[in-house]
Structure 1
Amino acid sequence: MNTSESLKATKLNLFNFKSIPTRTFWITSISFFMCFFAWFGIVPFMPDVTKDLGLTPDQKWNSIILAVTGTVFARLLIGKLCDKYGPRLCYTWLLVLGAIPVIACGLVETPLQFLICRLFIGFIGASFVITQVHTSLMFAPNIVGTANATSAGWGNLGGGANRLGMPLIAAAVVSFGVADAQAWRYSMVVAGTVCFLMGLVYYFFTQDTPEGNFKDLRAAGEEITTKKDKVGFSTVIKDYRTWILFLVYAACFGIELTVYGTMDDYLQNTFQLERVTAGNIVLSFALMNIFARTLGGYFGDMFGRLKGLRGRVLFLAFILSLEGIMLVTFSTTTSFIVGVLLLILFSLTVQMAEGATFSVVPFINKKAIGSVSGIVGAGGNVGAFLAALLLKSKSAVAEKAAIVSSQGLDDSLARAAQASAASEAVSSGYFIIGFIVVLTGLLALAIRFSTNEESIKVTNDTNFEPELIPIKAD
């Protein structure tokens, strides 16, 4: 029985563009980058959007929550679709259809329309799952953790690059005579158009597996069973390890999303920084994805070679616990210099934990990689949703109390009191979240593999057979 495993890349050779796995790696990474760029593209313009649409504080928080809520459902669905139709078609349609709410966001006239667009824009966050599935199909077990982590990390850069890119697009638009107050609208239209074009690139320049596309392989008489897909998906749902990884990813990627979305204001309120300075620090945090997530995948692969699948789990538990400790410590500091150092360490560990998570995912159920990736990926957005709710509830109560207590004071003192209250509330929220992350790191140790699973030689294994790989009939 022949498989396409022999065609999988055993090295991440970034400049071998003739290689199908390498070409797929670059296209899927760039597509993921553009999805994240568009997903968070509105963030730099929120002051303009608030003024233009008259958003209330609750509506601003709700837009953040809706943006990550839509992704939960999309990620749960897209993994199964990848198992059935292949990542090429799934990514093509996600990019083409996902461009619609991005463009529509630039055309909204009411807060309700804006909130609806934010909900549906969140669907393009499912691009992460397809990226992980596609790289898992293209790279051999000895390098799959590094490939997954690098493609995801470079894609995640889109969530930070928009802080530079979207204002540059807005400046270009203004140079053509568009009013400053309306530039955010045109910028969203541009971002959506680029996503649409990437969908066409994905369709014409990638394929599902090293051997070809699912449709062509079926037409050639090769067998891709659907019964096993159903059994695999059922097994995934019942496998406790999937749900532990769901929680693990909630505790790393979910927390990164939440911290990334709230850190600007926290730094300003806590250390009295200017908005530009705080924004640049957060941008640096996001840019660490260039290497930090790759490190997590690399060390996951390394511990896998040394200690087998259990080694991958041990490293994941260690780095996740360290992430929680960094966040807890950061939440208690009042020194700006110490705070920045701790934030750097938190950024490093949270992104390494994300890479380490997806160095384990491909080995949970090799017959349903898409389904496992979808469920685990959705966990990240569930974590972001719950963490945002916690911070919103604590911050709202504290700010309202500060407003009441500062009545009669001049505006500067009232704003200072409100900022201090918000800082203390978010700080306590970070502390709670960090403690939960540490507990989740300990929970990760419960992930076990059977003797048969542990016997897999992940250095140069040629028998690693994901369900998405077509199998020729004997």
Structure 2
Amino acid sequence: MTTTTSNPAALKSGQSVNLALATLAFCISFWAWNLIAPLGVRYAEIMNLSSTEKSILVAIPIVVGSVGRILTGALTDRYGGRLMFPVLLVATAPFVVLVAVAGELGSYPMMLVIGFFLGISGTTFAVGIPFVNAWYEPSKRGFATGIFGAGMGGTALSAFFTPRFVDWFGYVTTHVIVAVALVAVAVIVWMFMHDSPVWQPNRAAVTPKLVAAAKLPITWQMSFLYAATFGGFVAFSTYLPTYLKDVYDFDLQAAGTRTAGFALAAVIARPIGGVFSDRFGPRMITFISCAGAAVLAIWMITEPPLELPAGLNFVLMAACMGLGSGSVFTWVAQAAPAERVGSVTGIVGAAGGLGGFFPPMVMGATYNAEEHSYTIGLALLVVFATGAALFTLFGIKKRAVRESPTDGSPAP
């Protein structure tokens, strides 16, 4: 998304409204993206799924929602967020309804296919980052992208309300409500959202843009770190209901409530991570995030007792992942060339989503049903988070990114 920041007055006039609309669109799309996971226990019982089959089911929407970000990020550079947001929201709505059809039929293969296409809703992240980035001057992009990133609270809403909606309104009606909400937000966005007045469409061919973004070292450095931070959040928010059922024997609503609390803690922490990165630099905040996650995963292996110790463990883990998610995209906003923010965002966002796809698969495959233990999967998390913390400190040269929080120029 090609931008210039030479007209601050034009930017300020529409910042708040467009940031709010982008966050709303992101939030409702993430509710749809996480629609299967809160009912994963229900599907496992109805379809008689094994632990591995259940983990595949809750993780499958992440695939398209991750890989698809590469394309939507590049398309946002060309067409802008005002068009891309409503297109993706409307495209998601039919698959939300089809999830209900597959669930009513009790068809696992159909659920996998529909869940795959449900992942379209997860691609809105790659639309919102360049859209919001264009509205704000460099010194405030950490704050702006952090606020937008708080829209990932849609996963918290889904975890808390989806099981309750099923009880209140019925299974099929719940999915219809979400589909209608997607279309309604698409209409609101189309009517009231505007691309930044300093944004100019980048009409270069998509493939060369992606190739150029892929050649930037910052793209792959941030991809790894985002897979560790945001990927960890996605993995926990999708698999936590199953984890809580297996380890602590919670029912569907109790697990959903606690998963919502986890997601909410990450949502609150994400803009804080952006603001702190504006002030102290994203390297420090990202290191704190990854190192903290490693320590908390070790504590999680011990299966701390309910409620306070276990609850504190999960809330702190969520906070670490939220901080890191905010700091990594502050790093992207500071270091990526302005004309390639959308393309870089797409690749980094894809890596983050894929970082959330594999852990549920690993957790399901390594689960010890006899001991109700996830020790192996959590031990792998310790190793990965530790590696990410060390890479943050030693794997990225200081001259590769802008370390000063006040200088808006891209890195040399």
Q: Does 1:248 align with 2:225?
A: yes
The DSSP-based 3-state class of the residue aligned with 2:389 is: helix
1:211-265 Cα distance to aligned partner (Å, 9 max, x none): 4785xxxxxxxxx5627x8765433211222112111111111112222233334
State the identity as a percent: 21
Give TM-score, length-normalised by structure 1.
0.77
Q: Give the drift of 1:271.
A: 4.2
Q: Does 1:150 align with 2:128?
A: no
2:236 corresponds in structure 1 to 259
Could you tell me which of 355, 360, 377 is aligned with 2:331? 360
Shift in CA distance, 270/464, structure 1 to aligned 2, threshold 3 Å:
closer
The DSSP-based 3-state class of the residue aligned with 1:106 is: helix
Q: Give the drift of 1:42.
A: 3.0
Conserved in 1, the CA contact under 8 Å of 2:8 and 2:137? yes
Q: Based on CA coordinates, which of the two structures has the bigger radius of gyration?
A: 1
Shift in CA distance, 127/9, structure 1 to aligned 2, threshold 3 Å:
farther
Report the residue type matching 2:119 in the other structure.
G
Shift in CA distance, 272/187, structure 1 to aligned 2, threshold 3 Å:
closer
1:148-168 Cα distance to aligned partner (Å, 9 max, x none): 011111x11110112332244
Report the residue type matching 2:317 in the other structure.
F
Could you tell me which of 295, 308, 323 is aligned with 1:325? 295
1:89 corresponds in structure 2 to 83
How many residue pairs match? The answer is 404
Q: Does 1:116 align with 2:113?
A: yes
Conserved in 1, the CA contact under 8 Å of 2:78 and 2:203? no
Bigger drift between 120-129 and 282-291 goes to 282-291
1:42-71 Cα distance to aligned partner (Å, 9 max, x none): 333334444555655544222123111122
Shift in CA distance, 47/391, structure 1 to aligned 2, threshold 3 Å:
closer
Conserved in 2, the CA contact under 8 Å of 1:42 and 1:188? no
Shift in CA distance, 312/91, structure 1 to aligned 2, threshold 3 Å:
same
1:447 corresponds in structure 2 to 396
Conserved in 2, the CA contact under 8 Å of 1:236 and 1:372? yes
Report the residue type matching 1:150 in the other structure.
I
Runs of 4+ in 1 over 6 A off after TM superposition: none
Q: Does 1:165 align with 2:161?
A: yes
Cα distance in structure 1, aligned partners of 2:199 and 2:270: 29
Q: Does 1:79 align with 2:79?
A: no
Q: Does 1:189 align with 2:189?
A: no
Bigger drift between 314-323 and 116-125 goes to 314-323
1:459 corresponds in structure 2 to 406
Conserved in 2, the CA contact under 8 Å of 1:328 and 1:432? no
Report the residue type matching 1:144 in the other structure.
R
Shift in CA distance, 284/8, structure 1 to aligned 2, threshold 3 Å:
farther
Give TM-score, length-normalised by structure 2.
0.88
1:311-364 Cα distance to aligned partner (Å, 9 max, x none): 322332232222222222222344434332222221111110100111101122
Bigger drift between 137-146 and 67-76 goes to 67-76
1:411 corresponds in structure 2 to none
- Note the residue ranges of structure 2 that are not aligned, 5 or more in a row: none
1:119-163 Cα distance to aligned partner (Å, 9 max, x none): 01012101111111111111111111111011111x111101123
Could you tell me which of 25, 42, 50 is aligned with 1:31? 25
Shift in CA distance, 106/384, structure 1 to aligned 2, threshold 3 Å:
same
Q: Give the drift of 1:74.
A: 0.8
- Note the residue ranges of structure 1 that are not aligned, 5 or more in a row: 14-18, 174-182, 215-223, 304-310, 400-417, 466-474
Cα distance in structure 1, aligned partners of 2:344 and 2:203: 18
Q: Does 1:226 align with 2:204?
A: yes
Conserved in 2, the CA contact under 8 Å of 1:20 and 1:210? no
Report the residue type matching 1:162 in the other structure.
S
2:123 corresponds in structure 1 to 126
Report the residue type matching 1:312 in the other structure.
P
